[in-house]
Amino acid sequence: MEMVLLGNRSINLVVGVFTMTATWVGGGIIVGTVEMVYTPSMGMSWALLMFVAYSMSFITAGLLFAKPMRDINCVTMLDPFKLKYGKVMGVVLSLCSLFVDLTWVPSTLMGLGGMMSVVLDLPFSACIWISAGVAITYTLMGGLYSVAYTDIIQLVLIFVGLCICVPFVLTSPHTLDISQTLMNNTLHAPWIGELELRKSWIMIDDFLFFALGSLGYQAFHQRTLSASSTATAKLTSLFAAVIILVIGIPIILLGAAAASTDWNQTSYGSPSPYERGEAAMVLPIALQHLTPPFISIIGIGCVAAAVMSSADSALLSASSVFTNNIYNTILRPQASDREIQWVIRVSVVVAGVAGMSLSSLQNSVLLFWFIGNEMAYIINFSELFCVLFFNISNGYGSIMGLLVGLMIRLLSGHPSLGLEPVLHFPGCTLENGVYVQYAPVRTISMLSTIAAILLFSYLASVLFNKGVLPEKWDVFQVKAQHSPVPLSPVGGATEDNETEFRMDSHS
């Protein structure tokens, strides 16, 4: 299993840096960042915040999370839950991770579908199925090895392609000097973006959301777990943190050029994409109307490479979690190696087909992706942080943390879901008939999850270890975790996982 899912834990530094960076630089990142810079209320300020946050997530993964997960020989990031909390909570949190991955696939594919449908006038669905089919095929061929080595080619294509497109867009006769439009309101609002004091907490919330929420993705940790050594895993993360900032430069410049273009002089005409409500497609529109046709095709190639570099990672991630933490734990613990190989292949295909099918929903997919991202931040990251760094955490706290985090997030209101806020945090105001939260509601929900995990874990530990509750009720075997000595698998973990589970107590 490790050969397919982790490349036999032999991925070297160079390959590791490329595959980690390529995994995060997806089609959605490229298209979305250009839209972000072009949108007046966001601009370059929010785009920089996002890229710096992603860079910090790489550093955090390498310096804090890589070693404890590698020390217990994890195959996926869900293994610590299976070892410490048992099968039930392992499966529950595995389902959360699967949901995050399955919403990631279609949202990534949609970036390419939008590009090709605008520039090449091809059917949206055909673009989706072709790109997904390619990603599924080479993921099936070699697992992490094929994904990692194709990521090298894809990342090079992304960077070189972007660097080729940028000069053509910036030197278009219809594009003004971006240094003049950075701060000035000329054809479009200044592309530096709006920095309002009342939105400071929202910016902090977004920064932590991108920086820590990324750590709730299995694909992220799959890269550090597949490294040839712990030192290599750390260096991989540090180098990737620098490279993703470099790749962000040409993407931001494309957004700046779009914000500095006199669209009335182009074949696109007036009004501008923003005024037409087509800001989400401003990258393909800019390539189509500001560059020669062959440059537009190169731009599509960039996005196609980015889409497949992320889509294959999401497919392999979903397959890893289902095979290792659900099928081989609950459904068929006695499965042979050959059977596991086939389960991996089938789950890759199923995840790919499911992602392609969801992409036809378009607007609904964006909603699923948004919810998936919040689940990665509020649930997956919080749970992983506690299970790795707090010896007191147990299954009871894990359940309560999940419930408390979701409840607080839903009660805080969710405009995309049409939920009015019940909890009005400081700064919550009524604007155009809609309540707007200016407090960092996602971070509040995440911290509430961590607090609930630790509090209820402590209460359960006291109640069972003091004999207040009978031991026969202790389904998560809290007494086995009471001593600071290394823990053995609990809750019926299989013999294959009889690795000592060492936790450093921070409580």
Per DSSP, the residues of 3-24 read HHHHGGG-B-HHHHHHHHHHHH
pLDDT for residue 483 is more than 50? no
Which one-letter DSSP state was computed for residue 429? E
Is the bond into 484 cis (omega within 30 degrees of 0)? no
pLDDT for residue 180 is more than 70? yes
- For residue 379, give the 3-state DSSP assignment: helix
Longest Cα separation, the chain = 79
What pLDDT sits at residue 184?
Answer: 82
What pLDDT sits at residue 363?
Answer: 56
**458 or 189, higher pLDDT:** 458
Give mean pLDDT, residues 59-85. Answer: 93
- Token pair of 484 as six digits: 């600071």
Give mean pLDDT, residues 270-281. Answer: 86
What pLDDT sits at residue 213?
Answer: 93
Find the range with the poorest average confidence among 3-17, 49-63, 445-459: 3-17
pLDDT for residue 295 is more than 60? yes
Find the range with the poorest average confidence among 61-65, 424-428, 471-475: 471-475
What pLDDT sits at residue 364?
Answer: 56
- For residue 133, give the 3-state DSSP assignment: helix
430 sits in which H/E element: strand 429-431
**481 or 433, higher pLDDT:** 433
Cα–Cα dist 255/258, whole Å: 5
Cα–Cα dist 136/177, whole Å: 43
Cα–Cα dist 342/504, whole Å: 37
- For residue 436, give the 3-state DSSP assignment: strand
Sign of the dihedral through C-alpha 33, 36, 37, 43: negative
What pLDDT sits at residue 392?
Answer: 92
pLDDT for residue 377 is more than 90? yes
What is the pTM for the complete model shown? 0.87
CB atoms within 10 A of CB 138: 14
| Nearest alpha carbon to residue 98 among 351, 310, 340, 329 | 351
Highest mean pLDDT of the ranges 28-42, 111-125, 219-233, 465-479: 219-233
498 exposed, middle or buried (CB, 10 Å; 0-12, 13-18, 19+)?
exposed
Q: Are 309 and 134 in contact (CB under 8 A)?
A: no
Give mean pLDDT, residues 483-491. Answer: 40
What pLDDT sits at residue 365?
Answer: 52
- For residue 323, give the 3-state DSSP assignment: helix
pLDDT for residue 153 is more than 60? yes
Condensed to tens digits (0 to 9), the pLDDT of residues 415-472 reads: 777 788 999 999 888 888 888 899 999 999 999 999 999 999 999 999 988 888 888 8
Give mean pLDDT, residues 318-332. Answer: 91
User: How confident is residue 506, by pLDDT bands cut at 50, 70 and 90?
Assistant: very low
Q: Are 42 and 264 in contact (CB under 8 A)?
A: no
**Please, which residues bridge with residue 175 across strands?**
261
Q: Are 241 and 477 in contact (CB under 8 A)?
A: no
Helix orientation angle between 13-24 and 218-225, rounded to the nearest 10 degrees: 170
| Nearest alpha carbon to residue 409 among 400, 399, 419 | 419
Give mean pLDDT, residues 209-234. Answer: 93
Per-residue CA distances from 88 to 53, 82, 95, 493 (Å): 33, 8, 11, 10
Q: How many CA atoms lie within 13 A of 232 on its CB side?
A: 18
What pLDDT sits at residue 380?
Answer: 96
User: How confident is residue 13, by pLDDT bands cut at 50, 70 and 90?
Assistant: very high
Cα–Cα dist 117/126, whole Å: 9
pLDDT for residue 487 is more than 90? no
| Nearest alpha carbon to residue 247 among 25, 23, 14 | 25
pLDDT for residue 507 is more than 70? no
Find the range with the poorest average confidence among 42-46, 448-452, 502-506: 502-506
Cα–Cα dist 71/230, whole Å: 9
Cα–Cα dist 94/76, whole Å: 10
What pLDDT sits at residue 214?
Answer: 92
In the chain, % of residues over pLDDT 90: 47
- Token pair of 240 as six digits: 């990737």
Cα–Cα dist 309/141, whole Å: 15
What pLDDT sits at residue 484?
Answer: 38
Give mean pLDDT, residues 309-331. Answer: 89
What pLDDT sits at residue 502?
Answer: 42
Mean of the per-residue pLDDT values for the chain?
85
Distance of CA 351 to the CA centre of its chain: 16
What pLDDT sits at residue 51?
Answer: 95
Find the range with the poorest average confidence among 5-14, 56-65, 101-110, 332-341: 101-110
Give mean pLDDT, residues 377-388. Answer: 96
| Nearest alpha carbon to residue 60 among 210, 207, 211, 205 | 211
**145 or 245, higher pLDDT:** 245
Distance of CA 425 to the CA centre of its chain: 27
